[in-house]
Amino acid sequence: METIKTFNALGILSGSALDGVDIVCIRTDGIDVYECGHMVTVPYDDGLRHNIRSVLGLRPDTEENQNLLNEVEQELTTFWAQAVRDYIETYGVQIDVIGLEGHTICNCPQEHYIYQLGDGALLAQLTGIKVVYHFHSADIAAGGQGAPLDVTYYNAITSQQERSLAVVDISGISSIAWLGSYGEMVAFNSGPGNAAIDEWVMKHASMHMDYNGKLAITGHVNEQIVAAMMKHKYFAKYPPKSTHREEFKEKLEHLEGLSLEDGAATATAFVAESIAYSLLLYVPEIPKRIMVCGGGAKNPTLMRFLRQRLPNIEVCTAEDWGYNSLAIGVQAVAYLAVRRLHCLPISFPTTTGVVEPMVGGKIV
């Protein structure tokens, strides 16, 4: 019997924190993962970071906006192409396909609209390698939320773990994927993630993030403010659902008047509370264990707050299970690219609300 073909797939993920681009190579057939290579983060310089930030929220609905977006997209794609060439030269790997998760500029799930920077055709031209990108488009066109899409990868890497379990990705926003004992998969964006903390410390301390939760650990959580922030309408929506970092900005105004440290602590508690609330309310069965990945797994204060709010659940980081918290997201992008090559679905009625399982991604 012919076996399904394996590929060396390179994932590219541009983080919402604007810190840089993550790159990693995995070997997979789109079902099982056989090997994970080195992950590198190539930082954006201040100029590129400023240019990306200047177009956040724009839509290509005017000629001026379209030109601005095109300029930044070309600059960003050229940067990624050089990073790919450097990665291949450094690690001596042969790449069959690149999975590109472009930089999200505008995401309005209620309008079934998403706009991402990332020219897959230009990246393929500059690297000479097949590229899969625009993973969200088919799902959105079919009436789905367009996200989250990483659940099939979580299912693959945790296949030997006892079920049920949940994987919580705390990146710019937070996502929950619940995996049942009989292959069931439920996934949704639970709400704010690192972006809520980053916005506070950027505004009041000119810092890109609260490194290692050092500000939050010295501050005092204002639980009344956390309760007020939790009255956002998004938390009352039943999954499938997705959101974006801008949706919770107005709630962050509740933090004004707090000290830098108290604001960081309260924003961090808000993230933890929103995850705990969603886990206890919206998954079919409360899991015994959860694995936290993404940048939030590297924030010990956030992890402590999460454990305090989920005292009856074992809350682990990806490292506790032998994985790299920061690499899982970009590994998933590479994995989704190979699933596209084999025409395997990446979104489902219980993960994005699409009517039937959908294959996603454009190949160039």
- Is residue 2 domain-resident? no
Domain that holds residue 107: 7-143+329-363
pLDDT of 246: 80
Query: 151: closest CA among 22, 143, 139, 113?
Result: 139
324 within a domain of the structure (yes/no): no
- Give the mean model confidence (pLDDT) for residues 19-48: 95
**Phi, psi (degrees; rounded to nearest 5) at 166:** -130, 145
Q: Is residue 138 a part of any domain in this protein?
A: yes
Using one digit for the tens of pLDDT, what is the confidence trace for 319-342?
999 999 999 999 999 999 999 999
E strand intervals along 92-209: 97-101, 103-108, 113-117, 130-133, 165-170, 173-179, 185-192
Two tokens, residue 198:
């980053």
Q: Do the beta carbons of residue 48 and residue 18 sit within 8 Å? A: no
Q: Are residues 167 and 288 in the same domain?
A: yes
Question: If you search the block for the tokens 């488009």, which residue do you land on?
Answer: 137
Q: Which domain CATH number covers 89?
A: 3.30.420.40
Q: Is residue 78 part of a domain?
A: yes
Q: Are residues 284 and 188 in the same domain?
A: yes
pLDDT of the residue at 2: 53
- Whole-Å CA distances, 17 to 38, 85, 195, 197, 246: 21, 24, 7, 11, 13
Domain contains 51: yes
- Tokens found for residue 82: 């050089």
Q: State the total domains in the chain.
A: 2
* Span 76-125, pLDDT tens digits: 999 999 999 999 999 999 999 999 999 888 877 778 788 899 999 999 99
Per-residue pLDDT of 5-28, as tens digits, reads 999 999 999 977 778 999 999 999
pTM for the model? 0.94
Residue pair 209/194 in contact (Cβ under 8 Å)? The answer is yes
CA dist 103 and 80 (Å) reads: 11
* Residues in contact with 253: Cβ distance below 8 Å, sequence separation at least 6, in sequence order: none
Q: Are residues 200 and 282 in the same domain?
A: yes
Task: Look at the chain and count its residues.
Answer: 364
Secondary element (H or E) of residue 167: strand 165-170
